[in-house]
Amino acid sequence: MIPAPFLLYLGRSADALGIKTSRGLAEFRREDCVGEFRHDDCPQTLGLARLTMAEAAARGARTLVLGIAGAGGKLPDELIEDAATALNAGMNVAAGLHERLRDQPRLASLAREHGLKLFDVRDPPPDLSVGKGYPRAGRRLLTVGTDCSVGKMYATLALTQALRERGVRADFRATGQTGILIAGEGVPVDAVVADFISGAIEQLSPAREDDGWDLIEGQGSLFHPSFAGVSLGLLHGAQPEALVLCHEPGRAHMRGIPGRSLPDLAECLDRNLEAARLTSPSVRAVGICLNTSAMERDAALRLCARAEDQLGLPCTDPIAFGVETIIDRLLCPAPFALSTTASS
């Protein structure tokens, strides 16, 4: 476990999506966050106290979380410099980037010198096996998306909490750096060798006999050329009984690929259902989650209503409006058909 309390790193990030890891911790583990570190030219904030490394350590922060994501998951020089400052101030450092903290000689030396630790969250388990796709007991829901960073983690956490509030056993299964930092465990699926992706998810969500649910955090999108392989491996390894489609309205293009538009919701959902049937023939769609944080409330409600009419599925913003309608559909034993067209 990574020692809390945390100081959340924003650096110089001008991209709201680029600080999603820090934002996720501020949202779901706010009681464990003493403040945020950002440079003067950073326009982002999490609404936490802005602190220097020394001030954060004085307030009891035990770990600096480098909760930003850049292209390729690299550790730029400035990030290394700021991490070194944190170590010299007496804090551990955690990151979920593809480039490892431990591989930076300066950081490794400082950690040893001060008796501190470097936490590389994107380390997959060492004992993974390839997926088999055999039927296994248990009830599983997987969130899927039209693109990256559309709210799959937020939706999965909201659904987990809503099931627990109804007295249903439910466990959040993290597959990305932010989710792992929130949950304290998980599998960073985008760091797993391709042959082992489905097996890693089978291991993350093994058979269970207690009629409880595993809610598995989705990654990427089948329609994103960069990350579709991870999304497909998740679909096969999860063997989901239910899918929830996540989408952020108003995006001009796929994240990181100007000129490539997002897919139609119905088409995206049908393709995910089709792919999931390889290992879960009776999979069904149970809802749509929209990230309407950039919209006015009334406009967001109207958009959700239109999506419900078009797809015949409950549609909501999990943060703004809750997920009760999706939970109702999830727990309903009605025999829904296996495509969005039939299910409407």
Contact status, residue 248 vs residue 290, Cβ threshold 8 Å: yes
* Domain annotation covers residue 330: yes
Tokens of residue 158, six digits: 């909201």
CATH number for the domain including 162?
3.40.50.300
Q: What would the pLDDT profile of 120-153 be if each residue is shown by its tens digit?
A: 988 888 889 999 999 999 999 999 999 999 999 9
User: Is 146 buried (19+), middle (13-18) or exposed (0-12) by CB count in 10 A?
Assistant: buried
Contact status, residue 240 vs residue 167, Cβ threshold 8 Å: no
CATH number for the domain including 105?
3.40.50.720
Q: Same domain for 154 and 76?
A: no
pTM of this structure = 0.88
Per-residue pLDDT at 339: 44
Q: Same domain for 174 and 103?
A: no
Q: What would the pLDDT profile of 35-81 be if each residue is shown by its tens digit?
A: 999 999 999 999 999 999 999 999 999 999 998 876 556 788 889 99
* Domain annotation covers residue 296: yes
Q: Report how far apart, in Å, the C-alpha atoms of 7 and of each of 34, 40, 42, 55, 113 are.
A: 6, 17, 16, 10, 21
Task: Walk along the chain (344 residues) and give the pLDDT tens digit of each residue.
Answer: 899 999 999 999 888 878 889 999 999 999 999 999 999 999 999 999 999 999 999 999 999 999 887 655 678 888 999 999 999 999 999 998 888 999 999 999 999 999 999 999 888 888 899 999 999 999 999 999 999 999 999 999 999 999 999 999 999 999 998 999 999 899 999 999 999 999 999 999 999 999 999 999 999 999 999 999 999 999 999 999 999 999 999 999 999 899 999 999 999 999 999 999 999 999 999 999 999 999 999 999 999 999 999 999 999 999 999 999 999 999 987 554 444 443 43
* Domain annotation covers residue 42: yes
Signed CA dihedral, 126, 132, 138, 143: sign only: positive
Contact status, residue 26 vs residue 8, Cβ threshold 8 Å: yes
Q: Same domain for 298 and 198?
A: yes
Q: Which residues pair with 50 in a beta bridge?
A: 36
Domain count, the chain: 2
Q: Same domain for 253 and 320?
A: yes
* Domain annotation covers residue 133: no
Contact status, residue 117 vs residue 87, Cβ threshold 8 Å: no
Strand 6-11: give its sheet, edge to edge: 33-38, 6-11, 63-66, 92-95, 118-120
Q: Same domain for 147 and 288?
A: yes
